[in-house]
Amino acid sequence: MEIHEIQVHIKPDGQVEIAVQGVNGSGCLNITAELEAALGGNVVLREMKAEASEPPALDNSLIDPLRSGG
């Protein structure tokens, strides 16, 4: 299972920065949507990392039981 990390930085002026690590594709948007809404939903700037252009990783834990006949 992959580890996903969310970093939240609150600056002295109240500006909030959210960074997501370990998520490929646009899944990071799904991860941060609820947090963004709780903070008022006003996104001033969104910068996507290189990971966002990579295909999402498959969850092999769903595939392995099929291989073993489980």
Q: What is the pTM of this model?
A: 0.64
Share of the chain above pLDDT 70, in %: 77
pLDDT over 70 at 19, yes or no: yes
For residue 16, list its beta bridge partners.
10
pLDDT digits (tens, 9 = 90+) for 31-51: 889 889 998 988 888 888 877
The four Cα atoms 21, 23, 25, 26 give a dihedral, to 10 degrees, of -70
Higher pLDDT, 32 or 3: 32
Q: Can you give the residue range of the structural domain that contains 19?
A: 5-67
pLDDT over 70 at 69, yes or no: no
Q: Is 5 helix (H, G, I), strand (E, B) or coil?
A: strand
CA gap 30, 43 in Å, rounded? 14
Q: How many domains does the chain have?
A: 1
